[in-house]
Amino acid sequence: MTVAPEAPGARPAAGRPRATLPGPPRAAEPGGERRRALTQLRATDVYAMTGAAASALALTWLLFTRLLPFDGAVGFVVVAYGLFLLIYALLVSFDEDGPAVVDRIAAAVVRSMGLLLVVILTFVVCYALVEGRKALVHANFFTEDMQRAGPLEPLSVGGALHAAVGTLIMIVIALAVTVPAGLVCAVFLTEVPGPYARFVRTIVEAMTALPSIVAGLFIYATAILGLGLDQSGLAAALALSVMMLPIIIRAADVVIRLVPGTLREASYAMGTSRWRTVWHVVLPTCRSGLTTAVILGTARGIGETSPVLLTAGFTSELNLDPLHGPMVDLPLATFEFVKSPEPTMIARGFGTAALLMALVLLLFVVARVIGGRGPGQLTRRQEHRRVLASRRDARRFAERRAAPHPTVRTEPGSPS
């Protein structure tokens, strides 16, 4: 018997089974309502957000200019944002229920905060570039130091070469100290749990909030006053290491703890020792996360000023010896340049800040290129070795199959 299709939305007649088309079963919902995805962006959401933004701006302008004695750009933005959230929640509530309204408001807050951070970052970068453009257009700014340039000298004389080289020397020494120590400590905290590991983790978490001036005073008291070390780039690098080490340990600890335990169990089941499991399984799996941890530590240390001022002093000459003589980095040079009331020195300060941002971006790109491979991805050399090994195994297998099998002769009367 053939059942005629019913019109969409028609209710089935009494005693008559409703014809259904084959397909995946749908979850039954009370009231016959259709399930809605909370995260799906629809045209009505765009209309509600646009209308709420326009209404909030209009109401805020009316309040600030006609009704209330309010003034100030910050107050205008805050009041407009609050009104936008209220009006947007009201418009969404016409079509959605409580959980959907909360989800829409939370999404609007998160996206607006992300947009605010992007705007602030763009403003800071553009402002530093605009204010320092007068110094950045001169080639001598990147090739000369300030030995022969004074506050009244034009921008065609002097530069920030000594600060850039000092920054690179300090950060390289600090990374040489903190990266091995930080990764070893993070592996210890994760792979050797116990009371001592919990104590070390507590100390590391407390050191992440250590003020930079305290780190500088610690190195100044121990290395310079106690051990007799000169104010130099090495002392400044040690102070930066104190700031960078807890950041790298904490971030690497979190990343290593995210490695699935099944990978370790599979390695142990094959008879591998603990250190080989860490070296060949755990660390390659979280390589990109460890790179991020190193980047976070580098960003913390490369922008410090007070530890460098205490431990390395200040100089306007290029110093390539990290063991003797004062040395300056880019943040400290920026601070010293901007303190001067002369417009040329202020332009040099903003140019130095722009150079610092470019250096941080360069280090970030290099770190991503070095450790940007995801979990399980092999290098070209490892891929080549794997291909050669597979070919060698296939050749051996083919030779074994092609070799004649030896026949076993039996004596007459002996059991076969």
Question: What pLDDT shows up at residue 218?
Answer: 92
Long-range contacts of 66-71 (CB under 8 A, 24+ apart): none
Is the Cβ–Cβ distance between 142 and 152 less than 8 Å? no
Nearest to 168 by CA among 231, 230, 216, 237: 237
Question: What pLDDT shows up at residue 7?
Answer: 46
Give me the residue label for tokens 């003034």: 71
Q: Where are the alpha helices (DSSP H) in 25-97?
A: 43-62, 73-93
Nearest to 332 by CA among 311, 355, 357, 304: 304
Give the start-to-end residue ranges of the domains of the chain. 43-131, 161-378
Question: What pLDDT shows up at residue 405?
Answer: 60
Single-letter code of the amino acid located at 341: P
Burial class (CB in 10 A: 0-12, 13-18, 19+), 67: exposed
Single-letter code of the amino acid located at 205: E
Give me the residue label for tokens 């790109």: 365
**Other C-beta atoms within 10 Å of 186: how many?**
26
- Give the span between the Cα atoms of 378 and 366, in whole angstroms: 18
Residues of the chain whose pLDDT is less than 50?
1-29, 416
Nearest to 250 by CA among 182, 196, 302: 182
**Other C-beta atoms within 10 Å of 222: how many?**
13
Nearest to 222 by CA among 344, 311, 312, 302: 311
Single-letter code of the amino acid located at 406: P
Is 161-378 in CATH node 3.10.450.50? no
Tell how far CA 94 is from the center of its chain. 39
Give me the residue label for tokens 């040079």: 333
Question: What pLDDT shows up at residue 17?
Answer: 44
**Other C-beta atoms within 10 Å of 132: how many?**
23
Burial class (CB in 10 A: 0-12, 13-18, 19+), 145: buried
> Token pair for residue 72?
């100030």
Question: What pLDDT shows up at residue 174?
Answer: 93
What is the helix (H) or strand (E) element at residue 18, kind and residue range?
none
Question: What pLDDT shows up at residue 414?
Answer: 52
Sign, CA dihedral 326-297-173-291, equals negative
Where are the strands (E) in 115-198, listed by range?
none
Radius of gyration of the chain (CA): 33
| Residues 365-403: tens digit of each pLDDT | 887 777 655 555 556 676 777 778 778 878 887 888 787
Q: Where are the alpha helices (DSSP H) in 132-194?
A: 133-136, 140-143, 161-191
Tell how far CA 73 is from the center of its chain. 32
- Give the span between the Cα atoms of 91 and 80, in whole angstroms: 16
Residue 4, SS3 per DSSP: coil
